[in-house]
């Protein structure tokens, strides 16, 4: 089976993705979520526990929990930043993570992102190789 | 120790199944998705490979006495072609396994079905007691001889009637009959673990492929088997009770109805169990009212104080609500009683519920 790994994202080895959304000076924001491969491994997602707006995340540190019917998994931050938006739709429709992991299944928006941290993440081709 | 494989391991892999270790067996956990498989069984039908279940055959002149003294239900009530749910307990009255005991058609002796990985222990328990009591009975661990498939759901009867013959429609709940599926002689028992109507089919292991292929319905893995049985409050051996990790009597585990204290000759453990018909801890359903998913091992609390724990839990695919099973003190066991479930340190509101969950 092959999984989508969009080229415009960067990935953590633990299967979270980050998409830098705007790159104005001092106001870089990013969206984060989990990969197509990760949602498939988990199976039917039934619950996500996410931080509140205003909380700060550290790159590689745990920021939340995702549960499918069969498994509980920790979520790790691909980038440091401050939570500026939470996809609260997931609280009622966690299955969006399965249906559209890179779109409607996004989890958090971060601000105050340091773009230099992107260098520590995998590009799409390297991540695709990891999950192959 | 190497994992035991069901006869159709490779076929399931080709069908896209993912696998898990369970009771020493490598079994399919998911073919498509747990939710898809679960829904198919509730609304139509699904077929499970349950070849990890054990089969022990017991025959000979003293077979009845051996069965009666080692299981808690009353085996004398069975006639050929009938089965009964039962428990195997030790001399403390602690459940070692739950099982179905069949009095086979055509007076072919008894067959009982231990849970995955328990067949060797049960075989030894039966042969040890046979020697100790000097009984004339044959005991065979036939686990590797059989493939076992469960066809479950409202359409199961029609599917089996199609694959075998119309006579299977007359097989009543907990009865067992011989028939043929795809020209293969099989035993078909009207039993299951899903809360739906259905059959469990025993066939010669080397004919597994033909029998499995005769059922044109959703293949299901152990994942859906677990969510289906949790919704109905059915026990999982080794998890909801276990002689080491979760020692429970049948009364604690909510299956006191399979204990026949008056049956003769008395079963091992009867005298201890007779003292404990009204136990302090009770097996109950627990419904989470806050967001979250109850899981095996989570504490149950009242006002911050731990009073019990969960032994199973999931997000119910049918109800779309978080449900669990576990043990609480008798004074908390009434449906509707408010408690909390501790999820990663957070006390989530919950209430005791009847099972099947509704």
At B88, which helix (H) or strand (E)? strand B82-89
Q: Do A69 and B315 touch (CB under 8 A)?
A: yes
Do the strands A108-111 and A29-34 form a parallel or antiparallel pair, or are they unpaired? antiparallel
pLDDT in tens, A4-32: 999 999 999 999 999 998 766 667 899 99
Q: Do B223 and A72 touch (CB under 8 A)?
A: no
Classify domain B280-353 at the CATH class level: mainly beta
Interface-testing mutation among B16, B35, B348, with chain A (most A C-beta atoms within 10 A): B35
Cross-strand partners of A45: A68
Residue B2: its pLDDT value, please?
83
Residue A28: its pLDDT value, please?
87
Residue B78: its pLDDT value, please?
98
Q: Is B315 on the interface with A (CB under 8 A)?
A: yes
The two tokens of residue B168 are 């299977």
Q: Is A2 on the interface with B (CB under 8 A)?
A: no
Whole-model pTM: value is 0.95
Q: Do B315 and A91 touch (CB under 8 A)?
A: no
Q: Is A44 on the interface with B (CB under 8 A)?
A: yes
Residue B1: its pLDDT value, please?
62
Q: Do A43 and B293 touch (CB under 8 A)?
A: no
Domain ranges of chain B: 9-54+144-231, 56-141, 280-353
Classify domain A10-113 at the CATH class level: mainly beta
Do the strands B176-181 and B110-112 form a parallel or antiparallel pair, or are they unpaired? unpaired
Residue A41: its pLDDT value, please?
93
* B18-27, long-range: CB < 8 A, 24+ apart: B18/B221, B20/B222, B22/B52, B22/B116, B22/B117, B22/B222, B23/B52, B23/B115, B23/B116, B23/B117, B23/B118, B23/B238, B24/B116, B24/B117, B25/B51, B25/B52, B25/B116, B25/B117, B27/B52, B27/B116, B27/B221, B27/B222
Q: What is the mean pLDDT of chain A?
A: 94
Q: How many CB pairs under 8 A join A and B?
A: 35
Model confidence at A99: pLDDT above 70: yes
Taking CB atoms and an 8 Å cutoff, what residues of chain A touch B291?
Answer: 47, 91
Candidate from B291, B292, B314 with C-beta closest to A69: B314
Q: Is A67 on the interface with B (CB under 8 A)?
A: yes
Q: Is B132 annotated as a binding residue?
A: no
DSSP letter at B256? Answer: G
pLDDT in tens, A48-78: 999 999 999 999 999 999 999 989 999 999 9
Q: Which residues of chain B have pLDDT under 70?
A: 1
Domain ranges of chain A: 10-113
CA dist B283 and B295 (Å) reads: 15
Q: Do B295 and A69 touch (CB under 8 A)?
A: no
Q: How far is B292 from chain A (nearest CA, A)?
A: 6
Are the C-beta atoms of A109 and A30 separated by less than 8 Å? yes
Residue A67: its pLDDT value, please?
97
Burial of B257 (0-12, 13-18, 19+ CB in 10 A): exposed
CATH superfamily of B9-54+144-231: Probable tRNA modification gtpase trme; domain 1 (3.30.1360.120)
Fold exhibited by the domain B56-141: Alpha-Beta Plaits (3.30.70)
Q: Is B203 on the interface with A (CB under 8 A)?
A: no
Q: How many angstroms from the chain centroid is the CA of residue B343?
A: 27
**ipTM for the whole complex:** 0.88
- Mean pLDDT over residues A73-92, rounded? 97
């Amino acid at each position: 089976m092959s999984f989508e790994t969009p080229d415009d994202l960067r990935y953590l080895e633990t299967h979270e993705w980050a998409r830098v959304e705007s790159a104005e000076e001092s106001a870089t924001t990013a969206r984060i979520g989990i990969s197509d491969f990760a949602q498939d491994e988990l199976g039917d997602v039934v619950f996500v526990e996410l931080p509140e707006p205003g909380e700060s995340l550290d790159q590689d540190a745990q920021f939340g929990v995702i549960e499918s019917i069969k498994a509980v998994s920790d979520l790790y931050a691909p980038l440091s930043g401050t939570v500026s938006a939470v996809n609260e739709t997931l609280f009622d429709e966690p299955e969006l993570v399965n249906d559209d992991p890179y779109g409607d299944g996004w989890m958090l928006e971060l601000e105050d992102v340091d773009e230099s941290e992107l260098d520590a993440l995998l590009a799409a081709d390297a991540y695709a190789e990891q999950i192959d | 120790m190497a994992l035991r494989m069901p006869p159709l391991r490779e076929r399931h892999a080709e069908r896209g199944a993912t696998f898990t270790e369970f009771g020493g067996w490598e079994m399919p956990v998911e073919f498509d998705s747990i939710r898809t498989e679960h829904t198919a069984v509730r609304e139509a039908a699904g077929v499970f490979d349950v070849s990890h279940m054990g089969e022990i055959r017991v025959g000979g002149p003293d077979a009845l006495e051996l069965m009666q003294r080692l299981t808690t239900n009353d085996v004398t009530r069975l006639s050929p072609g009938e089965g009964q749910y039962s428990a195997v307990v030790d001399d403390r009255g602690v459940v070692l396994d739950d099982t179905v005991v069949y009095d086979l058609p055509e007076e072919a002796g008894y067959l009982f079905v231990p849970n995955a990985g328990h067949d060797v222990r049960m075989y030894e328990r039966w042969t040890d007691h046979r020697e100790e009591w000097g009984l004339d009975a044959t005991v065979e661990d036939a686990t590797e001889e059989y493939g076992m498939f469960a066809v479950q759901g409202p359409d199961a009867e029609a599917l089996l009637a199609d694959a075998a013959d119309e006579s299977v429609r007359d097989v009543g709940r907990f009865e067992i009959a011989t028939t043929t599926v795809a020209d293969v002689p099989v035993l078909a028992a009207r039993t299951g673990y899903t809360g739906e109507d259905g059959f469990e089919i025993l066939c010669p292991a080397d004919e597994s492929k033909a029998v499995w292929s005769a059922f044109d319905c959703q293949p299901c893995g152990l994942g859906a088997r677990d969510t289906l049985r949790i919704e109905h409050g059915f026990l999982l051996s080794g998890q909801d009770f276990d002689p080491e990790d979760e020692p429970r009597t049948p009364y604690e585990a909510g299956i006191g109805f399979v204990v026949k204290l008056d049956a003769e000759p008395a079963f091992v453990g009867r005298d201890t169990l007779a003292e404990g018909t009204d136990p302090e801890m009770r097996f109950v359903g627990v419904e989470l009212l806050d967001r979250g998913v109850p899981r095996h091992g989570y504490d149950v609390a009242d006002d911050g104080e731990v009073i019990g724990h969960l032994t199973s839990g999931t997000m119910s695919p049918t109800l779309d609500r978080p449900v669990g099973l576990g043990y609480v003190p008798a004074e908390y066991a009434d449906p509707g009683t408010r408690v909390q479930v501790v999820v990663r340190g957070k006390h989530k509101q919950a209430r005791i519920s009847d099972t099947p969950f509704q």
